[in-house]
Amino acid sequence: MRVLVVEDEEIMADALARGLRRSGYAVDVVTDGATALEQAAVNHYDVVLLDRDLPVVHGDEVCRALVRDGASARVLMLTAAGTVAEKVDGFALGADDYLPKPFAFAELLARVEALARRTSPAVPPVIRSGEVAIDTARRTVTRAGRPVQLTLKEYGVLAELARARGAVVSAEDLLERVWDEHADAFSNAVRVTMVGLRRKLGDPQVIETLRGVGYRLCS
């Protein structure tokens, strides 16, 4: 899952990015509305955390543009004002949710997770593939009832394969969805992560490689 944080207060932006990354999200950060629109035009995001009072292009205009252009990302608008009128205005712009500052990070994370679930096709709370069970709510994995301890990237890769429901997912798509804009498209990050993931999941293997095409989770 990939999130775009649009926040001109750098301390706040960095704190949000760190918290979301610790929770397993790939996160890009920008500090003005014009850059936000550029990023949204070239990357796929599940959720956009959008501060309302932005420089260059106001957050209201960013939200309108995302909705007008048919962006698939869900928009969670952040603002220092929490009046009913402000919330109504935010929803009228097309925002999917609205959170006044200051807020508890736990609440923001819960809202991001709820919006991210609405972006992608619905999946069961627990996805099973043979002996492997992926709890998408708790972000835990077991095999034959035994807990499998995965890194955030390993879990992210496995979760993306699970959400594909048996369809092939390319390495490029995994790189975009699990890493962020700083990932090197020519790196072997996906391959290295896949090696570790397969080793931890054990045999028989549940992830199939289609050479030159991508990967899929076997049923």
pLDDT > 70: percent of the chain: 89
Q: Which of 76, 21, 16, 19 is nearest to 51 (CA)?
A: 76
Q: What is the value of pTM for the model shown?
A: 0.70
List the structure tokens of 205: 């293997």
Please tell me the distance from the alpha carbon of residue 38 to that of residue 35, in angstroms, as a whole number.
5
Pairing of the two strands 47-51 and 74-79: parallel
Residue at which a domain ends, from 119, 150, 179: 119
Residue at which a domain ends, from 57, 86, 119: 119
How many helices (H) and strands (E) would you count in the chain? 8, 11
Please tell me the distance from the alpha carbon of residue 109 to that of residue 142, in angstroms, as a whole number.
24
The residues with which 6 forms a beta bridge, in sequence order, are: 30, 50
The identity of residue 73, as a single letter, is A
The identity of residue 33, as a single letter, is G
The domain of 133 spans 126-217
- Per-residue pLDDT at 30: 96
Residue at which a domain ends, from 119, 137, 170: 119
pLDDT tens for the chain, residues 1 to 219: 889 999 999 999 999 999 998 888 889 999 999 999 999 998 889 999 999 999 999 999 999 999 888 888 999 999 876 566 766 776 788 889 999 888 999 999 999 988 887 766 556 678 887 788 988 778 899 998 999 999 989 998 998 898 888 889 998 889 888 887 666 665 788 999 999 999 999 988 899 999 889 999 887
3-state DSSP helix/strand/coil percent for the chain, to nearest 5?
40, 20, 35
